[in-house]
């Protein structure tokens, strides 16, 4: 019998779930790596998905706790999408994906895990990155530790080439 190891899963099962909104806990107290927070712009920020679909799965969210796109100001909307673009630039520079899935799940009925704070998923994709493990066993295979991925992506969010391209 083959064994499939997912050591991060026990951390997910046993850890206390934070009270409140996970997107409102990003207070800038020097815990960015612990919180997987990669970048802050004027109105939004980028964090890694702690339980990703694939390597490099990012979440981009406005600071304000909003559940509806219509409540974003024009400045917040522009900043949010500029930050999504930056996320794609960094992922392209660091991992050379062949495409992206970018999306919002607005409301529980649309699949939102955190339904009352808007956030966009930025998921890099490669040819052949979906296999029977995800489809049959609801298992995702991650090729490296999430903090190693964080350490690879972080410099890209400070790289002028990624920011301006």
Mean pLDDT, the chain, rounded, equals 81
- Assigned domain for 8 exists: no
Tokens, residue 148: 């190693």
Q: What is the pTM assigned to this prediction?
A: 0.80
**Domains: count for the chain:** 1
In a domain, 12, yes or no: no
- b/e 83-100 (16+ beta carbons within 10 angstroms → b): bbbbbbbbbbebbebeeb
Ramachandran assignment for 92, one of left (phi > 0), alpha (psi -120 to 50 degrees), beta (any other): alpha
Structure tokens at 108: 């529980």
Confirm whether 72 is domain-assigned: yes
**Which pair of structure tokens corresponds to residue 73?**
């100001």
The percentage of residues in the chain with a pLDDT greater than 90, rounded to a whole number, is 43
- The pLDDT of residue 161 is 76
Among this protein's residues, is 117 annotated catalytic?
no
**Given 43, 57, 117, 119, the catalytic residue:** 119
Could you read off the pLDDT of 122-147 as tens digits, one per residue? 999 988 766 544 544 455 566 678 88
Q: Domain for residue 45, yes or no?
A: yes
Tens-digit pLDDT profile for residues 73-107: 999 999 999 999 999 999 999 999 999 999 987 77
Across residues 59-82, what is the average pLDDT? 93
| 160 in any annotated domain | yes
User: Is 48 part of any domain?
Assistant: yes
CATH at residue 65: 3.30.428.10
The domain containing residue 43 runs over which residues?
21-164
Could you tell me if residue 152 is inside a domain?
A: yes
Residue 5: inside a domain, yes or no?
A: no
């Amino acid at each position: 019998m083959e064994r499939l190891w997912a050591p991060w899963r026990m951390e997910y099962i046993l850890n206390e779930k934070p009270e409140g909104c996970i997107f409102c806990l990003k207070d800038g107290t020097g815990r960015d790596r612990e919180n997987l927070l990669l970048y802050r712009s004027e109105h939004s920020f980028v964090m890694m998905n702690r339980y990703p679909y694939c390597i490099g799965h990012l979440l981009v969210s406005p600071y304000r706790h909003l559940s509806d796109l219509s409540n974003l100001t024009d400045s917040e909307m522009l900043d949010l999408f500029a930050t999504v673009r930056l996320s794609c630039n960094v992922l392209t520079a660091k991992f050379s994906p062949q495409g992206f899935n970018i999306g919002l799940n607005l409301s529980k009925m649309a699949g939102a895990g955190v339904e009352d704070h808007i956030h966009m998923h930025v998921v890099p994709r490669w040819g052949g990155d979906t296999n029977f493990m995800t489809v049959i066993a609801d298992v995702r295979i991650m090729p490296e530790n999430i903090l190693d991925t964080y350490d690879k992506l972080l410099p890209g969010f400070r790289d002028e080439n990624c920011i301006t391209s």
